[in-house]
Structure 1
Amino acid sequence: MLYRTGLRDLVLIKPIRDGADQLKIVSGYATHTMASWHMTEILDQKQDMIEINLIVGMCRFDGLAISVHNGFKDLVSGNNRAYQSPFTCQYVTEGPPVHSKIYLWEKDGRPFRAYVGSANYTQAAFSPARSELLHDCDPNQAREYYDLIESRTTYCNHAEIEDVIMLKPAHPVLSVEESPSISLSGAGISKVKLSLLTNRGDVGFGSGINWGHRRNRTKRNPNEAYIPLPAKIARSGFFPLERRHFTVLTDDQKQLILRVQQDGDKAITTPQNNSLLGEYLRNRIGVANGAFVTKQDLLNYGRTDVTFYKLDEEQFYMDFSTEKPQLEI
């Protein structure tokens, strides 16, 4: 049967409800933000965690963005995280490039269900805004094809993988230099500045950077944090909505996966673990891990806001430095 709508649930979630426990994917193109979204969606829907094995087929031919490559490696390194499905990622490094897309579900080690079609393993391909087709196919034949392609792959975290595939800058306006800074060419790039303070001009208690500190003594990770997002900016289309994940490259060369969430799209968080953003901000500010952050802490650091530059629909640059980013002329 040919499927045109409802692909996200049909192909990526429903097989779990039917007992499948492992997903093997061959996709010409793929992104770490899709894998992150998929893992988080499984948890949000209270489904059992599964094993995800991804093969990316076109990276040797077309190259791969550094941010995507690093994102895949970070997901692989997080396989012991309680909130993350076990994940492997391999790149086709021998023979012809692979442009096909196949989704093979297994149950107890045996082929269970499979789909083939046009949809890459990306958020864009599985969004309602994109027209894609998938067709169910014989799972045993899908397993044979997956095994054939897998024999020509190398794991994304292999020590020599970066000598085999071509890595590209995360975006044309960014250049990674020898110093631990990223030069930013601001020409034509839209940006927004988001305050870490409340409307009253102070830090929140149980909200914002101190989301994990609750007055009612509710037990939460004290590092939990979000960046407040005003409704006007949320409605402007600057950030992706509908719980889509996006990559943020920071001025100190870190990389985060964020999303907009909460009622009214009022918060920017690290979706796989809400404490990751709080840990990052506390480390930058120079306060203890898990500490309550005061307005004076932010003033001592030199900033009470962060600036986001929109590079594309899934990539942003976040400046939290106390000096202006270096502009290329």
Structure 2
Amino acid sequence: MKLTTDYIEELIVEHFCKEFHLVRIFVKEMDPILVEEFLEKYPNVTLEINVLDTLIEGLFQPIHLENLRLVEEFESRLIINYVLNTKKELKRLLILKTDKQTQLENDIEKLFIGPLEFTRSYFSNETGYLVELDGNINNIRDLLDFEVFSCKDDQVPITINIYNFEKILLNLGEIKQRYAIVANNNVYIESVRLSLLDRKGEVPGKSGLNWGQRPNRDGNQMYLSVPKSIHSSKEEFFPVQTQGFLVCTADQRNLVCVMAQDNRKAIQTKGNTSILGKYFRERLGVKSNAFVVKEDLIRYGKVFIDLYKIKEGLYYLDF
């Protein structure tokens, strides 16, 4: 089965046939938002994700925090483990079972050489195939002999290096031109600057930061406005309409967002559109639900935000 952007659909339609209920997958990297969408769409499926080589690679803190959120939200249907060291052959393994037991005492129902990453970028760019193997547990038992921690384990921050953007973005505070962040592999990271002001140079009264400042609305509701000119000049910078993506902030907050409204003109927090406005009001030092004026932004020191695309589905917000 070819790996494509429709990978999950193909996996469900072609191989579950409503009889397989457990997906056990071993990956080098995962996208929590993709995992969340998977579980929301297929409520009868239990997912176990084993993130490999975490002792060597470490863990990106925003992803780790999202993992903790997800296992709490999907307590009975999601397990996320961190594997310290594994054998090379395990890095492309995917297992399907008919029951929801994660132990593998019984024969495996379906066994595949599978994806190396469970991320949008991997399925967008890679051209590979899932190959079905003999599913007898005895054939892979040696591969499954590894040390593992649940992502909820108290030993995780002690044993595994949990790093933030310092490892991904070098010298962020020293770069005067904030459009030119350099990653640890010296690859230019694309960015956009979004103004919080309208064409008249003021904070809009009933949109943007003040979208919720209308009768019978939550005063914290807001969105970030994305002009057509940015979509025209950077067509692939943002994801498609309604597709979730993770925005990490300089003060270590995670915001799950979507592109919304006509022509993807708005960035909103997924589900509760007040989360974004509450965050910005906290940063600005104004009261919750308050009407935001230009003077609030000037006092804070910025009338715009910079958004950096780290990879597909992951962005860094500098405000």
Q: When the two structures are superposed, what TM-score results if normalisation uses the length of structure 2?
A: 0.72
Q: Provide the residue aligned with 1:325 in structure 2.
A: none
| Alpha-carbon separation, structure 1, partners of 2:271 and 2:209 | 17
The alignment partner of 2:154 has SS state of coil
Residue type of the alignment partner of 1:258:
C
Spell out the pairing of 1:1-329 with structure 2 (5 A cutoff): 2-5=1-4, 6-11=6-11, 18=18, 23-31=22-30, 34-40=31-37, 43=40, 48=43, 51-79=46-74, 87-93=78-84, 96=87, 98-104=90-96, 106=98, 114=110, 116-119=112-115, 120-127=117-124, 129-135=125-131, 141=136, 149=144, 152-170=147-165, 172=167, 174=169, 183=173, 185=175, 186=181, 189-204=189-204, 207-215=207-215, 217=216, 221-235=218-232, 236-237=234-235, 239-242=237-240, 245-271=244-270, 273-320=272-319
The superposition leaves residues 167-215 of structure 1 with CA deviations (integer Å, 9 ceiling, x where unpaired) of: 4554645369xxxxx7454465544221123345444465322344545
| Alpha-carbon separation, structure 2, partners of 1:273 and 1:319 | 21
Contact 1:256 1:270 in 2 (8 A): yes
**Following TM superposition, by how much is the alpha carbon of 1:292 offset from its aligned partner in structure 2, in angstroms?**
4.0
The alignment partner of 2:123 has SS state of coil
Contact 1:173 1:184 in 2 (8 A): no
Taking only aligned residues, the RMSD between alpha carbons, in angstroms, comes to: 4.1
**Following TM superposition, by how much is the alpha carbon of 1:39 offset from its aligned partner in structure 2, in angstroms?**
1.9
**Following TM superposition, by how much is the alpha carbon of 1:164 offset from its aligned partner in structure 2, in angstroms?**
2.5
**Following TM superposition, by how much is the alpha carbon of 1:122 offset from its aligned partner in structure 2, in angstroms?**
1.3
The superposition leaves residues 206-251 of structure 1 with CA deviations (integer Å, 9 ceiling, x where unpaired) of: 5322344545x3xx65433221111221231462322555443323
**Following TM superposition, by how much is the alpha carbon of 1:92 offset from its aligned partner in structure 2, in angstroms?**
1.2
Q: Would the alpha carbon gap of residues 154 and 172 (structure 1) be closer, same or farther in structure 2, given more than 3 Å must change? A: closer
Q: Would the alpha carbon gap of residues 231 and 130 (structure 1) be closer, same or farther in structure 2, given more than 3 Å must change? A: farther
Percent identity (aligned): 26
Question: Unaligned stretches of 5+ in structure 1?
Answer: 177-181, 321-329
Contact 1:92 1:150 in 2 (8 A): no
Contact 2:112 2:133 in 1 (8 A): yes
Q: Would the alpha carbon gap of residues 277 and 233 (structure 1) be closer, same or farther in structure 2, given more than 3 Å must change? A: same
Residue type of the alignment partner of 2:54:
C
> Displaced runs of 4+ in structure 1, greater than 6 A?
13-17, 110-113, 142-148
Q: When the two structures are superposed, what TM-score results if normalisation uses the length of structure 1?
A: 0.70
Aligned residues: 300
Q: Would the alpha carbon gap of residues 210 and 150 (structure 1) be closer, same or farther in structure 2, given more than 3 Å must change? A: farther
Q: Would the alpha carbon gap of residues 204 and 23 (structure 1) be closer, same or farther in structure 2, given more than 3 Å must change? A: farther
Question: Unaligned stretches of 5+ in structure 2?
Answer: 176-180, 183-187
Q: Would the alpha carbon gap of residues 63 and 204 (structure 1) be closer, same or farther in structure 2, given more than 3 Å must change? A: same
More helix by share: 2
The superposition leaves residues 87-121 of structure 1 with CA deviations (integer Å, 9 ceiling, x where unpaired) of: 33111136646412315365666999756234221
